A and B are shown apart, each in its own frame.
Chain A
Amino acid sequence: MTIDWPAIVFSEQTQGRIRALCERRFGHTADAEVASDYVLEHLSSGDWAQCRKFTGKSRPETFLYTLCSNLVEEYARKKFGRIRPPSWLQQLGDTWLTLWKFICLERQPVPVAIDRLAGEDDALRDRHALTDMVKTIKARLPWCGQQSGEIPLEEYHQDTPGDDDNSDDGLEPLLLLLHQLVLEQTGEPSLSAWQNPDTLQALRGAITLSDEQRLILRMAYVDGLKFSAIARSLNLPTHQPARLAQRAVAHIREVLASRQLLPEGGE
């Protein structure tokens, strides 16, 4: 597909977009300017090799957006390193991780980080929930966001190849914790059933969710995206994500209840 990438990338529109992307990522700082240069340099390198991978499956400007987004993140990783967050944060989901990265690692101002994750007019996430998340992170990691002083080494370690693998380590403690939370307002927890490995195995077989349901549950309940934002991002009818999520939760509830893993009040 023949596209004049230099003309597109160096157009006033694209230059403005790249600048805006970098300023949202790093604020109005020198880093934003350096990141803009980094993006332009890498887009044009190798005779526009990255751009020329375009085959026409998407619109050119959206493809260009994905490349720019990747390059901005690549710059951030080179600048701030790739540091592994605490395991408790990893279990809480990508929104928590992103907040941690912005505030603790890159030391961005809290309002800027919240603005970014809440989206324009708070279209993506609830601002108050994000504020609560920041409070939790700061309470558990007192060094987070401080402009001076060393970050305790035990708080993090550098990523090593293979660390991204999803392992089942820690699954049972997570389930126990979550189960307790589920039951905190509804009745007496019966943790013994949850501690039984056979129970977990049986649940794995009994809970059947489609990929779309798993994606929507994750976006909505783990990462706090509004259902309207999910619908827009997946091009679904406005209330389809909420319906799919409700069906999935009802199914999960039914499976747990049928194995007496939920008290009657929680059903």
Chain B
Amino acid sequence: MQEKAEIRSKYWLAVFLVAAYTIPFAVGIYTENVFFDLQWLADLTTVILNGIMQGGVYAMFAVGLTLIFGVMRIINVAHGELVMLGAYLTWMFFFYVGVDPLLALFITLPIAFVIGLLIQKLLLNAVVGGPELTPLLITFGMGLTIIHIVEAIFTTDYRTIPYAPDAFQLTETIAVSRSKIISFVMAAFISITVFIFLKIHRIGKAIRATAQNADVAMVCGINIFHIYMITSGLAAALAVAGGALVSIQFGFNPETGVLYTLQAFAIIVLGGRGHYIGALIGGVMLAVIESLISFMIPNGTAMVEIASYGMMVFVLLIRPRGLMGPKEN
């Protein structure tokens, strides 16, 4: 019975995803934004490539959120604000110290790791394992506090970092923004490094063991409170790295973190809560659909948020465990 429901939910998810990717094309055809000539196909390829590049960055910061959820069952709604904080840290180092945004990662990531440790130590350790609402409200309050502090310091003005604005011509008609390529390569490098760390390193194994069963991890000698702190530090570092990489592509202000939180949630719901590879796949899938919407639907740029909201809601309804998440008990 359960197996049948599992297979049915898988099929429904497949149907939903096919429909989700078809809708932009259907609307594009209806609104005469789809031409099927060579130039349009080249533009479509460019858009999809840009989406994949963007997805790599989304996936990286979503992995931080999924790690925290997987290890502590905490829904950190301030994750996007840490992404935004990463963008501002990068901006500060770029404009005030003159450090290249990528080189700034060597400074901002350790800072982020310490911020994550402190958040865990001072706010979250006391509520891990308790009712889910408590950490949710704590992180919600923390997110708002970060927004207001950043607003007080930097105002609500949009900031940008001019970095590698030119495009890289793949063919005569297909070009990808250089900053997107750089961001994607960096995100892929960081994601793979974290993946290898989790897979091979002793602490990484302890993180995975704690995620699977914290009680057993404890009787196997793992100090789960240290693991919680390391996980939070790692998640904050991934968020700040994400912030650095989006800051060289898009403008940002203190409110943009909310959108990143939403995107990260949509990604981990799609990929499967607590699942690392699922988050990577979900990130790319979400970014590609966002790109398709903004390319084919009139005024689509303003509608990309619908993709995140819609995907999250429908996947939760159809298959709560997403593509690769563990079975719900």
Q: Do A and B bind each other?
A: no
